[in-house]
Amino acid sequence: MSHYFENDESIKNEPSMVHFLLKGKEFALHSNAGVFSKDKLDTGTKILMETVLENTKETPKTLLDLGCGIGVVGCTLRSFWDCEVTMIDINQRATELARKNMDKYGYPATILCQDGIQSGKFDKILLNPPIRTGKKVIYSLFDQCVEHMSENGETWIVMRKQHGAQSAINYFEEKGCKVKRVNRDKGFWIFVVTK
């Protein structure tokens, strides 16, 4: 069985649309088989975006949607903020859909099909960690977030409590970061990491 964090060219082409409402705005994004949450906006990502929007006073200059999938976070937040958007995913079909969705809404973006963050500094990084990849991969992404945050940057993460949210918070604190849990909802924790 294929996972959304792999490139599997044998996956059928099953185009669809994901419709959702966030903060009074309607979105309709292109989706397909073989990508994360292909049929709907997943609950964790929705809570993450709502929490970030409610707790952001100044528009960031640079936003990174890490593990962007079809581009839900980048596309949605770009509709609220006029900022430079970078989107990264290891899944080629996902990045192609992310490009299609950003183009649909007329938003410029740097969209990269690659394994993790390789360059750049970002004011806001958003991550819904790919839990099924395992702890080693996820903690490598955490390390990259710390390395690629701008001086006053923030990394916002959503994790279920039972998927190790507290362990993740402890890990960032051991690295010398400040961590604040901002929200708890439906078993999900939203926390923000700063240097």
pTM of the entire structure? 0.94
**What confidence score (pLDDT) does residue 182 get?**
98
Q: What distances in angstroms separate CA 159 from CA 64, 96, 169, 187, 192, one per listed residue?
A: 18, 26, 10, 8, 11
**What confidence score (pLDDT) does residue 8 get?**
60
> Is residue 168 a contact partner of residue 142, using CB atoms and an 8 Å limit?
yes
Which pLDDT tens digit goes with each residue over 14-47?
999 999 999 999 999 999 998 988 889 999 999 9
**What confidence score (pLDDT) does residue 4 get?**
52
**What confidence score (pLDDT) does residue 11 get?**
77
Strand blocks (E) in 23-148: 25-31, 62-66, 84-89, 110-113, 122-127
CA–CA dist 102, 182 (Å, integer): 28
Decide if pLDDT at 195 tops 50: yes
Domains of the chain, CATH where assigned: 42-194 (3.40.50.150)
Q: Report the first-to-last Cα separation within the chain, whole angstroms.
A: 39
Which pLDDT tens digit goes with each residue over 120-175?
999 999 999 998 888 999 999 999 999 999 999 999 999 999 999 999 999 999 99
**What confidence score (pLDDT) does residue 131 get?**
87
**What confidence score (pLDDT) does residue 1 get?**
35
**What confidence score (pLDDT) does residue 37 get?**
87
Q: What distances in angstroms separate CA 82 from CA 47, 58, 63, 101, 141, one per listed residue?
A: 21, 11, 10, 17, 26
